[in-house]
Chains A and B, each alone.
Chain A
Amino acid sequence: MDDGPDNKNPALTGGLACPLPFTRREQVLLAHGAGGRLSAELIGALILPRFANPALTRLHDQAILTLPPGRLAFSTDTYVVDPLIFPGGDIGELAINGTVNDVAMSGARPLFLSLGLVLEEGLPFATLERILDSMERAAREAGVQVVTGDTKVVPRGKCDKLFINTSGVGVVPEGLELDASRIRSGDVVIVSGTVGDHGLAVLTCRERLSFISQIRSDTAALYNLVAVMLAASSRIRVLRDPTRGGVATSLNEFAASSRLGIVVEEDSLPVAPAVRGACEALGLDPLTVANEGKLLAVVAREDAEPLLAAIKGHPLGREARIIGQVVDEHPGLVALRTGLGVKRLLEMPVAEQLPRIC
């Protein structure tokens, strides 16, 4: 949305030192995104106090950053989850942690984020503030700064309450190269904890499946865990956070990039009992359900046990397990070894998962 000629950077007139008084309203109005006084109020009263840092509070069209030397890891993601608030988290926390994790999977320490908000006209301010609060908390805990941003308001019905985009940058430590092409036959696959929690938390909350006991999202920022892992082993081949498409999708990506096979042991998969039960009832496979606070690591066999011990020593990795290994057979494909000792294909899901009839 173009600012008019007279109100270029209107919030500059407010600034942090003397924020404009925030006219108390219940709901977001179209004018809050029009670049005028209400826009300035929204930024001055809701955004700046939460995310204040020198780069942001300049309120220019861009943030000017000084980065440590090295290669830049840069990632972006857009968050459109329904409902906005679900057991264990909300869209704000997800938008910080998700992008932090995408950057962290390169081994980079996430440093700066951008924040784009698309608000639907009529969104209650109470909801917005709660979500901004959890974004502030998540950013603080992850050690990242929100340095630039943008807010738009669209007419009622033109978006679903609130969409968030975040982009993030970090600097990759020198000499570190995490890439699926580095996977070798004999390597071991580790998952940092139970799988399927986030997807089931959102699904059961959205569909009001009251017969299922409450499942909480696992949303968490994983950089600290990554740092512990990098200190414990120099032979980690690749890291990935298995979000949409779940563990099955990430493993298939590993197999395809490395042109090797992967065998997962069904009995070794950590799945919380409530998640397993809900998946049974809905006909879903926990391996294809999204996670927001878990990672997969492929590591050289000789480092697998020490790395597993290091992960288990971190609060986000207590239930980590070795779930499989890389093999020369069936290149490009992932197999699941069932309880009968038989191998069958483990695919990435084809499309959105649709609950079954009976």
Chain B
Amino acid sequence: MTRYVSEFRDPAIARRLCAEIKFLVTAPWVIMEVCGGQTHAIVRSGIDQALPPQVRLVHGPGCPVCVTPIEVIDQAIAIARRPETILCSFGDMLRVPGSHQDLITARAQGGDLRIVYSPLEALQIARENPGQQVVFLAIGFETTAPGNAMAVSLAAREGLDNFSLLVCHVLVPPAMRALLGAPDNRVQGYLAAGHVCTVTGLADYEAISRDYRVPIVVTGLEPNDILEGLVMVLRQLEAGEHRVENQYQRSVRPAGNPLAWGMVEKVFAVRDQKWRGIGLLPASGLGLREEFAAFDAARKFEVAAITPEESPLCISGLVLQGIKRPDECPAFGAGCRPEHPLGATMVSSEGACAAYFHYQRL
């Protein structure tokens, strides 16, 4: 596996790309990397420190754990605490603060909570525990949607009545539009999330680039991918151009993965969606289609009416929109730390606050 990444981390190539950026840049630019995985790669490898001062990177909303509304965490906790349920989740979600506690505490208090690596694993747990209700916490962007759609599709085919999803799926392009349309927007160019485009292709991005006259480069997640993506965005910005370019050609095809997205469209329909810290964005999420309603844990367990409570000190919404840097938050590193977080951005492995906390306090 390593040999597929070493080239994209080669320090000599990285230094050459940095030199190219320094040579290119004649004016100040603000560029947003959309994906939280990219944010972590940037801070971890020190790209933000190696760039010339005119290039400012702001961190985007592309952290699925961070934008999952607090009420979904509360619902998941309520489900996990029921005696007849097994709640399955990606590990990332366990330390995300809900209104009163997190999932890891719910587990310590007796909830049956299992970390899985794939929704198909949760499906297998359902097959093996016919007397228990197995619920998968189905969060994420377009990247995780095909797997979740596949799990529901298989469960329907097998007639499993003890498997369901607590769904919180979000879509990237509506969020990118919302940020560009905001009155205080500063973003002049995007590094779009390579893994998302692997599934969906480029069509939505062409429209955004055209409508907002903004360069978008679909970019991978390794340090040299990001540096190359920056070179491509900066070339467009310096030339006064705007179009979609694909830095991540080894993974992204213009049409995406029609098979995977077809599976998503069979099971899910687009709906308005609330994003933690950002608010309700029209047509920015996926919900189970009516014919798969039996697999909707929110209906099955009647947990929809929970009233959430956010910490009033947390500014993660501004961080997720690239308006504030994590270290501009008064609570950063003081009242808010990974061991007692106020917001999800401090605990997710893709959260910007976590990236700053873990790598930048030297």
A357 touches B360 (CB 8 A): no
Smallest beta-carbon distance A248→chain B, Å: 10
Q: How far is the CA of A341 from the CA of B46 in the complex (A)?
A: 8
A340 touches B50 (CB 8 A): yes
B339 interface contact, C-beta 8 A? yes
Given contacts A277-B1, A355-B115, contact A350 B339 (CB under 8 A): yes
Indicate the size class of the contact surface on chain B: 35 or more
Dominant secondary structure of chain B at its interface with chain A: helix
A345 interface contact, C-beta 8 A? yes
Smallest beta-carbon distance B229→chain A, Å: 16
B29 interface contact, C-beta 8 A? no
Smallest beta-carbon distance B60→chain A, Å: 15
B143 touches A276 (CB 8 A): no
Indicate the size class of the contact surface on chain A: 20 to 34
B90 touches A355 (CB 8 A): yes
B93 contact set on A, CB distance < 8 A: 357
B95 touches A355 (CB 8 A): no
Q: How far is the CA of A350 from the CA of B1 in the complex (A)?
A: 27
A231 interface contact, C-beta 8 A? no
A338-355 interface (Cβ within 8 A of B): 338-345, 347, 350-351, 354-355
B338 touches A350 (CB 8 A): yes
Q: Chain B 1-17, CB within 8 Å of chain A: the 1/0 string?
A: 11101000111001100
B50 contact set on A, CB distance < 8 A: 340-342
B46 touches A343 (CB 8 A): yes
B143 contact set on A, CB distance < 8 A: 358
Task: Look across to chain A and name the residue whose beta carbon is closest to the beta carbon of B3.
Answer: A273
B362 touches A357 (CB 8 A): no
For A283, A342, A358, the residue with the greatest tally of chain B CB atoms inside 10 Å of its CB is A358
B64-119 interface (Cβ within 8 A of A): 64-65, 90-95, 115, 117
A191-213 interface (Cβ within 8 A of B): 207, 209
A-B contact pairs, 18 of them (CB 8 A): A207-B117, A273-B1, A273-B2, A280-B1, A283-B349, A338-B46, A339-B9, A339-B45, A340-B18, A340-B46, A340-B50, A341-B11, A341-B15, A342-B45, A342-B47, A347-B358, A354-B115, A354-B349
What 14 new A-B contacts, CB under 8 Å, besides A342-B49, A344-B43, A354-B91?
A267-B11, A277-B2, A338-B45, A339-B10, A340-B223, A343-B362, A345-B360, A354-B94, A356-B90, A357-B64, A357-B140, A357-B144, A358-B141, A358-B144
